[in-house]
């Protein structure tokens, strides 16, 4: 999970608890490239930890602020259920 640094001036971190799970969502703006591909200026990371310690991580990048905001809103709706 990215940590705040001077190179991430638009860094935002949100931690929520829901149904025994802890959800951490981080997003920031920074132009990034991977090989020859442009990942976009907006990046979103999410980490879900269930009450039993199971971990789910997600990452996405976006080329516009609107898409990044939609990604964050969508990630807030994810529910991680324990298997019985």
Domains and CATH numbers, the chain: 12-75 (2.20.25)
Q: Is the pLDDT of residue 77 over 90?
A: no
pLDDT tier at 57, thresholds 50, 70, 90: very high
User: Does the pLDDT value for residue 45 go beyond 80?
Assistant: yes
Please state the rounded mean pLDDT for residues 51-68. 89
What pLDDT score was predicted for residue 84?
65
Q: Assign residue 53 a region: left if phi > 0, alpha if psi is -120 to 50, beta otherwise? A: left
Give the predicted TM-score (pTM) of the model.
0.77
Average pLDDT score over the chain: 84
Q: What is the pLDDT of residue 79?
A: 79
Q: What whole-number distance in Å separates Cα of residue 55 and Cα of residue 61?
A: 21
Nearest of 19, 27, 28, 29 to residue 77 by alpha carbon? 19
């Amino acid at each position: 999970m990215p940590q705040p640094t001077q190179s991430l001036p638009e860094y935002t971190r949100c931690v929520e608890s829901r149904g025994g799970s802890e959800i951490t969502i981080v997003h920031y703006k920074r132009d990034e490239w991977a090989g020859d591909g442009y990942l976009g200026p907006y990046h979103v990371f999410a980490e879900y930890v269930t009450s039993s310690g199971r971990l789910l991580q997600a990452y996405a990048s976006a080329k516009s602020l609107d898409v990044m905001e939609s990604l964050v809103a969508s990630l807030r709706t994810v529910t991680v259920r324990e298997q019985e």
